[in-house]
Amino acid sequence: MNPNADAENPISFEWNGDGDHASTEFRKPIRGGQSAVIADTPVNRLYEGTDGHYYTDCQIRNRLRTERWKPCIRQRAPDRWLVETSDQSLLLLTPTDELPAWAELRVDDRGARVVDTRHPLPD
């Protein structure tokens, strides 16, 4: 984090205990991953976590709604989320518009999610 770069943007924090968790501001093009991402994929935003994983806004919303994660702080400029995970560790989520080569964006009846293709699926 560069304090000088962040100082150029006004910072606001919000406590998100009211159920309004995921950003639906706009859709950015998503680059990278296992295959080209379809333009109309229902993903408003992708986030990179400090745990090395990538998350869609849908995944974040579902984990907050089911209380697997608890919201701590949301910073709006630049947009960042700090959440407490079910194992009581902190996870910082920052927006990104690129997926690494090992990631794949999948959409099904549960919503859009990022899948790590480096590991085989369990039997």
Residue with tokens 């709604």: 65
Q: What is the pLDDT of residue 8?
A: 42
Distances (CA, A) of 17 to 52, 55, 87, 117: 25, 20, 19, 33
Q: Quick one: pLDDT band at residue 32, thresholds 50, 70, 90?
A: low
Over residues 25-47, the mean pLDDT reads 58
* Best-predicted range by mean pLDDT (35-49, 53-67, 100-114): 53-67
The span from the CA of 24 to the CA of 36, in Å, is 22
Phi, psi angle pair for 59, to nearest 5°: -60, -40
Over residues 91-101, the mean pLDDT reads 92
Over residues 66-94, the mean pLDDT reads 94
